[in-house]
Amino acid sequence: MDAIEILKQLKDQGVRFTPQRQAILEYLLETKTHPTAEEVYHHVKAKFPGVSLGTIYNTLNMLKEHGYILELSYGDMSSRFDGNAKNHYHVVCLNCGKVVDFHRPLIEMESEVAEKFGFEITGERLEFYGICPDCRRKN
């Protein structure tokens, strides 16, 4: 789904969309880097110098709540945001925090987990951790 389709759906749901919000959404849909809110802020600020960090956080939260982006939280590390809201795996560098998408068919365990534990499964998250090639070269 592209930014125009998402914007139309949000408008139909009564969400007001500004050029700044559109720039945030477009950046998340275009980038593969899984940026932090601060990185989104610096990118959007280059186009809209008056944008506030609060606008960035509010827009990220709204897009997440509507299911258009994913928030990837890593404890003491800053959350990262993924413009691909379809469930997929990630590979995370333990040194620099880089996050890379890994697309493979998802492990089909939801029904087994639901049956065994009685949970209604609403999502899953599986990540691989290691040291990225850039960090390995530096060491």
Domains and CATH numbers, the chain: 1-86 (1.10.10.10), 87-139 (3.30.1490.190)
Helix %, strand %, coil % of the chain (to 5) = 45, 15, 40
Q: Which residue has the tokens 């050029």?
A: 19
Please count the CA atoms within 13 angstroms of the CA of 46 that sit on its side-chain side: 7
Residue 9 is encoded by which pair of tokens?
């759906």
pTM across the whole model: 0.83
Per-residue pLDDT of the chain (139 residues; tens, 9 = 90+): 888 899 999 999 999 889 999 999 999 999 999 999 999 999 999 999 999 999 999 999 999 999 999 999 876 667 999 999 988 889 999 998 899 999 887 667 788 888 899 999 887 788 899 999 999 999 8
